[in-house]
């Protein structure tokens, strides 16, 4: 019965085999995942816009009736 000697070449084979096995398992796990459905939501639907800096806009009583949606 021959005992496996752990010389440099045998260790390289063992490590590279382990690396490729892990790479194969990882790639299979990544490819096998089902895509997550994406949801779109426009959280800006009620926001108003005005180009420029309006100093009075910080006041609660400010009316933004001339601003665009």
pTM higher than the cut 0.75 = no
- What local confidence, expressed as pLDDT, does residue 9 receive? 84
Asked whether the beta carbons of 68 and 48 are under 8 A apart, the reply is yes
- What local confidence, expressed as pLDDT, does residue 48 receive? 79
What is the spatial distance between Cα 56 and Cα 50, in angstroms, rounded to a whole number?
13
Task: Render pLDDT for 20-63 as a digit per residue (tens, 0 to 9).
Answer: 988 888 776 666 667 778 888 777 777 877 788 888 888 888 88
User: Bridge-partner residues for 68, per DSSP?
Assistant: 49
- Domain regions of the chain by residue span: 1-34
Task: Render pLDDT for 3-24 as a digit per residue (tens, 0 to 9).
Answer: 666 788 888 888 999 999 888 8
Asked whether the beta carbons of 69 and 47 are under 8 A apart, the reply is yes
């Amino acid at each position: 019965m021959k005992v496996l000697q752990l010389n440099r070449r045998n260790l390289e084979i063992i490590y590279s085999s382990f690396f490729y096995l892990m790479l194969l398992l990882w790639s299979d796990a990544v490819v096998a995942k089902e895509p997550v459905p994406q949801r779109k939501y426009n959280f800006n639907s009620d926001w108003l816009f005005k180009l420029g800096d309006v100093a009075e806009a910080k006041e609660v009583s400010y009316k933004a009736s001339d601003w665009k949606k």
